[in-house]
Structure 1
């Protein structure tokens, strides 16, 4: 049960670090594996490895104001695996709020799944996936020259 509580805390630290624009906090939460995977809600947010994910977080921090990310803790499910050395995490209710220029973003009920591993006395994410149901929003991100539709 301690592993489940620790992974719930990892999720809370993740949403808190995003909301606080805390890159150092985010660095502590993700593995440095070359095959770290992050799949966001846009095609240009399908990333492999920490350097790509770090760059995406930095672009988002530069482009977004009033960022707030939360997960309803009552919807968070954590399954302990591998004798407490790994865990699967899921929730259908991540909320992502921000302002991009004059545009207000408020995406509710983003599905999030993740895999976390216990390494060197700490839990870290090794995979994360966000997806939306029935939403399509075109978002332009400065600096990467792309326009992508959220799906």
Structure 2
């Protein structure tokens, strides 16, 4: 009888330990990926090509010509614009990429009126998909929700 009670306690302790480690790792990974997703615009600005000159310029870009240039450069339509903080002439443009969830990011200098280059953010979209769906589409989103609710109620 004493041996059976000891074995049950040992198994419960082992289960509790590993469940805590797994849930703790889940919280840490979701926290780090959530932080990266939250600061996506700032990270994009940091990783983008530098502006030609940012000192005291006023935007003089012809946006119709800029749109035509960008669509010719990328072969795709502009999906979204990210406007910079004050004093930064760079405008980030999100363009549809080859894959459904992956976009291309083009940096355009509003003062110089020219394309500065492209920022490779494929890893960022991987991170967003991981944070939202655990890289498993709808099933991953459901599992993340179930785990989150279980952690909230525990």
Please give the TM-score of this superposition, normalised by the length of structure 2: 0.24
Q: Hey, which of these two has a bigger chunk of strand by percent?
A: 1
More relative contact order in 1 or in 2 (CA 8 Å, sep 6+)?
1
Q: Hey, which of these two has a bigger chunk of helix by percent?
A: 2
Please give the TM-score of this superposition, normalised by the length of structure 1: 0.25
